[in-house]
Structure 1
Amino acid sequence: MRHDYYRDGVCKLSRQDRRTQPLSFRPASNFVHYIENQCAEVPSNQKCDFEEFLEQDLGHGDLQIAVASKDQCHEACESEESFNCRSFTWFERAGICRLSGDDLTSAGLSSVTPLPDAAFYQRAPCIDR
């Protein structure tokens, strides 16, 4: 039996997403739309480290700010309130920090390109404290 959620107006909610259950995520029909909550905060009882990709750039961001250090860029990502910051790129020579709601999961591996003087960081899976 085939069931098209979009056509039938069915919405299914899950606590899991393509980051917590990556092997369960797969393309669906044109009538099914996958939507992630960009408003959900990272629970305060979780610690999230960031993975480092030296000399790599995501190529786009949601917010670009001038900061003095990578640590300030990291803190800006952690404290961003207008969107769920999943990654940042630090441009040391320029003192520029680019924050993004995307990471390699949402933007895709091909979105990261080599760029000297750039360092890309994405939020790793969080663990309970």
Structure 2
Amino acid sequence: MFYGRGAGGGPTASAVLGDVVAVARHIADDSIGHRESDYADREIAPFSAARTKLMIRLQVADKPGVLATIAQAFAAQGVSIQTVRQGGAGNDAELVVVTHAASEKSLAALVKDLSALEIVRKVESVIRVEGAPS
């Protein structure tokens, strides 16, 4: 046996009303049990098929041809560049690249390819850009 203060008048009335509505639905449907789900059984797409954008920050060698080599890596994976910003001084430069929307699989392969390039000193950060227009 349960005893104590309980939830109070408002929550109790809401629960009772919910039960009354459920009974009314069962009567209207000529059923005696729970209704079948209204949700469709859908297959979940693999994450590798998701399309998203990335902001990739790279530390690269500051010499001629670096930007062309980086662009070739993007092209090889079929990833389009939306914006590029370059800065830095001395022997190194910082490149910040924002991609257009591409498959997660292509973007992951791109980051791996960029990491393997001799001109890329370090992949500083890879940040997914959500909700931004392509």
Pairwise same-fold verdict (TM > 0.5): no
Could you tell me the TM-score, scaled by structure 1's length? Answer: 0.27
Higher helix share goes to which structure? 2
> TM-score of the superposition, structure 2-length normalised?
0.27
